[in-house]
A = this chain, B = another copy of it.
């Protein structure tokens, strides 16, 4: 089935909070040209909870009408009513599937499996589902066994957005168990080098250089280990800087703006602001990166 890179899209805003579709289109175009085999919208880093329902639908429709790669739509919500409503609109618009994160209150194995079963029932049979396993943010811990149960028992589940941390052994365990899921890894790519070697099918994350994601996945898939690590290591200082809880999105949008992909790094409130010092730190990292990876040189 080959390897995949689903880039998670930021939602560009103007300084006044309006959605900047020109930047959105440019960002999407860039991701596809960089080799993205899929795109994900309305995730945590897409500021999904700050969008009104109509805006969310508009973004999904625009995206689906402009690209040929599969689109995954984040539909996580505190209740099944909103989840079902958005799922319906997304699938009608041509989405390939929806991504669902677990509510933070889940604790036991059975609670987790039951939640996904109920969610699948709520959104309707047959909708392809991506399970998001991100304990650091959601506080929900899914063992490989639980993920295997979900894959086996819940209709529609076909992909895992893996972002457990540490998570390498979990990939090995899932592969050893032959759990029939596509495994795309997240966590801002902080362990992408080894995740591929453990058997991941690719990445689904939002690092500001999608070229890094596609490059590492491609080199690793081709067995060119040292080259994959060389490329990865060149980006690691920035990857690490971007993968800071809460602040990360501000860093990402700032880099995308520096790259000329977004016109503004504005977020809707509540926004994590980037201090002047932090911007200078990112600038410094970008300079160093350009020396180590010429492909990452800014155009302006």
Q: Are B236 and A277 in contact (CB under 8 A)?
A: no
Q: Are B275 and A172 in contact (CB under 8 A)?
A: yes
Among candidates B77, B107, B244, B270, residue contacting A118 with C-beta atoms closer than 8 Å: B270
Q: Given that A118-B270, A278-B168 are known contacts, is A141 also in contact with B82, CB under 8 Å in the complex?
A: no
Nearest residue (CB) in B for A167 is B244
Tell me the smallest distance from the CB of A82 to a CB of chain B, in Å: 7
Residues in B whose Cβ lies below 8 Å from that of A122: 269
1/0 contact string of A72-85 vs chain B (CB within 8 Å): 00000111111011
Nearest residue (CB) in B for A248 is B166
Q: Are B78 and A110 in contact (CB under 8 A)?
A: no
Among candidates B78, B143, B165, B277, residue contacting A108 with C-beta atoms closer than 8 Å: B143
Among candidates B110, B141, B269, residue contacting A107 with C-beta atoms closer than 8 Å: B141
Q: Are B118 and A166 in contact (CB under 8 A)?
A: no
Q: In the complex, A10 Cα to B174 Cα: how many Å? A: 32
Tell me which of A27-35, A49-57, A58-66 binds B. Answer: A49-57
Q: Are A52 and B121 in contact (CB under 8 A)?
A: no
Tell me the smallest distance from the CB of A107 to a CB of chain B, in Å: 4
Q: Are B53 and A53 in contact (CB under 8 A)?
A: yes
Residues in B whose Cβ lies below 8 Å from that of A145: 110
Residues in B whose Cβ lies below 8 Å from that of A48: 79
Residues in B whose Cβ lies below 8 Å from that of A229: 237, 288
Q: In the complex, A104 Cα to B106 Cα: how many Å? A: 13
Is A246 interfacial (CB 8 A cutoff)?
yes
Q: Are A80 and B143 in contact (CB under 8 A)?
A: no
Among candidates B52, B168, B288, residue contacting A85 with C-beta atoms closer than 8 Å: B52
Residues in B whose Cβ lies below 8 Å from that of A237: 193, 229, 232-233, 236
Tell me the smallest distance from the CB of A87 to a CB of chain B, in Å: 12
Is A297 interfacial (CB 8 A cutoff)?
no
Is A20 interfacial (CB 8 A cutoff)?
no
Q: In the complex, A48 Cα to B169 Cα: how many Å? A: 26
Chain A positions within 8 Å of B, measured between CB atoms, are: 48-53, 55, 77-82, 84-85, 104, 107-111, 114-115, 118, 121-122, 140-143, 145-146, 165-166, 168-169, 172, 190-191, 193-194, 197-198, 229, 232-233, 236-237, 240-241, 244-247, 268-270, 275, 277-278, 281, 288
Q: Could you list 19 further interchain pairs (A-B, Cβ under 8 angstroms) beyond the known A107-B140, A168-B281, A233-B288?
A: A49-B80, A49-B82, A50-B81, A51-B79, A55-B81, A82-B82, A108-B142, A108-B143, A110-B143, A110-B145, A122-B269, A165-B244, A166-B244, A191-B240, A194-B281, A233-B236, A236-B236, A236-B237, A236-B240
